[in-house]
Structure 1
């Protein structure tokens, strides 16, 4: 998370330095693994005023046998699975987040259930979020 936030901070700082961004009006968006990064940036930093996450996986324990380049199982690297899952930090997510997911996403790591669970977790903790499920849309 430290590297993710540091990279985003560097990008924001450079955009502000160049005069192409207002630091009080910057949003972040991402698709698939980028959606995971979007949610994590909103949880672990205060760089952005809103986020849009599309077709992401927000609870890595729902893919217990590996994800992306992580080849260890949840039983071998539980701390990694928990740290990289913004679902477990939903109580900290106060920046507005729009979650969009295709209803026909057949990717086993990014099932529509991932979006629904994050949405409910954010809402139940007082966060600002909306969930849009797109019918007949894949990943």
Structure 2
């Protein structure tokens, strides 16, 4: 199987946009949940940071702790994007939520080559 665009220069812009969106999700999601439950807010941070750290598709990251098929990695990225956008609209003013939404759309567009690669890597091969 070929190397993921994530590990090449082709994926650099996508990686930067994805990381920016992840940071927003890590900040805005617990902020949005803290008023309902501090435990839920803490759990959201643990899940948003921990899941992609532990689960990855072989060939998409240099180190994989627990291998998942490509669609699993795509799902984790979508989770981060949705969390960032929804939480931004819940806790931040419109003038800040709109750029977060635009960033998420740009991230999806830039992620498409990686997602195509990940989709082809859907039939998980344990190495």
TM range (shorter): under 0.3
TM-score calculated relative to the size of structure 1: 0.26
Q: TM-score, normalised by structure 2?
A: 0.27
More helix by share: 2
* Structure with greater strand percent: 1
